[in-house]
Amino acid sequence: MGTCRSDLNGPARVYRFLLWLYPPGFRLRFGAEMLLVFQDSYRAGEERPASRLDLWILTLRDLASALPGEWWQALMRAGKFEFPIRQWADSLVIPFTVMAYLAAEGPLGAALLRKPPELPLAHGCGNASVLACMQSTGLDSTCLGITMVAALLGILSAMITARSNRAAFGTINLHSPGN
Amino acid sequence: MSRREPHGPDRVAPQSFQPLTPAVFYILLVLAEGDWHGYAIMQEANRRSEGALRLGPGTLYAAISRLLKDGLIVELEERPAPELDDARRRYYRLTGRGSMVLSAEAKRLAELARQARSTRAVRELKHA
């Protein structure tokens, strides 16, 4: 942090230790200045012990309020949260499109488009509950197969993109552009 | 003093930054008066808010970090001479865009205050 250890008194050492709670990029960029500000504040309140206690309370409150935001920013910059969520959402477009198409073709679509629903029954399927479900939703076995394949493709696509993002953005950038 | 170029987008409406947090508002307000370093900004913000705003180093530099990113302030490249001040200090300056954002926020607050004063409840409170 560019701070000479010899000029650190006890409280400054403690504060220097607390600075390690901040994300690396932020600490490298502003750590030395923050320590300097803390030292200045401490010196200003050196005459009165109450001021010192007040400063420590302020410092702890300051840590509690600033740390979550800085870590969130650091993680967002590292792409850990932003990219996988977006890619997962993109991947789900495929099965949702197929489902919407099938719904439009079934009773819902028939009701909307004012055409009589076609309810073809699946042949060769022995499960009565599946048949009943398919009949009630207007899905036939071909439609069900297409939906399942689309859903599997979507999940597979999401897994591949999430894996490639982890490879690209998986490590937190330890150095801010300014350093 | 020369200064570093802002990193943020150039074409962003000042209103898009509203509402400013008290910390950001006071930092911009203090820097509107001149170039200051972190501790001076902290002290001056405390004085101007009559003790209502007590910034710690973490809150101060988190706000400064975002203001730098958005191009509302810039860091001056030159440092003070070691015999005059601590060479570790960095000075900050309000940019043109920062000035526009501060002005827009001041107008917004003035309008809010005007509307509040026009309500009967606030008028009665004033006379009480």
User: Facing residues of B76 across strands?
Assistant: B3
The minimum CA-CA distance between A19 and chain B, rounded to whole Å, is 9
The 10s digit of each residue's pLDDT in A30-75 is 999 999 999 999 888 777 777 788 889 999 999 999 999 999 988 8
The whole-number pLDDT of residue A49 equals 72
User: How many A×B Cβ pairs under 8 Å?
Assistant: 64
DSSP single-letter state for residue B14: G
At position A44, the amino acid (one-letter code) is A
Strands B36-37 and B73-75: unpaired
Q: Which of residues 80-109 of B touch A (CB under 8 A)?
A: 86, 88-90
Do A76 and A140 meet the contact criterion of CB atoms below 8 Å apart? no
The whole-number pLDDT of residue A81 equals 57
Q: How many CB atoms are closer than 10 A to CB A20?
A: 9
Q: Is A89 exposed, middle or buried, given 0-12, 13-18 or 19+ CB atoms closer than 10 A? A: exposed
Hey, what are A127's tokens?
């499960």
Do B90 and B38 meet the contact criterion of CB atoms below 8 Å apart? yes
Q: At what angle do helices B38-48 and A24-44 cross, to 10 degrees?
A: 60
Whether A62 and B58 lie within 8 Å, measured CB to CB: yes
Distance between CA atoms of residues B112 and B106, nearest Å: 10
- Tell me the whole-structure pTM to 2 decimals: 0.61
Distance between CA atoms of residues A65 and A3, nearest Å: 25
Distance between CA atoms of residues A110 and A116, nearest Å: 6
- Summarize the confidence of residues B13-22 as an average pLDDT: 85
| Residue A32 with chain B: CB contacts under 8 Å | 88
Q: How confident is the model at residue A5 (pLDDT cuts 50, 70, 90)?
A: very low
Q: How confident is the model at residue A126 (pLDDT cuts 50, 70, 90)?
A: very low
Hey, what are A98's tokens?
């197929």
Do A174 and A24 meet the contact criterion of CB atoms below 8 Å apart? yes
The minimum CA-CA distance between A87 and chain B, rounded to whole Å, is 25
The whole-number pLDDT of residue A149 equals 73
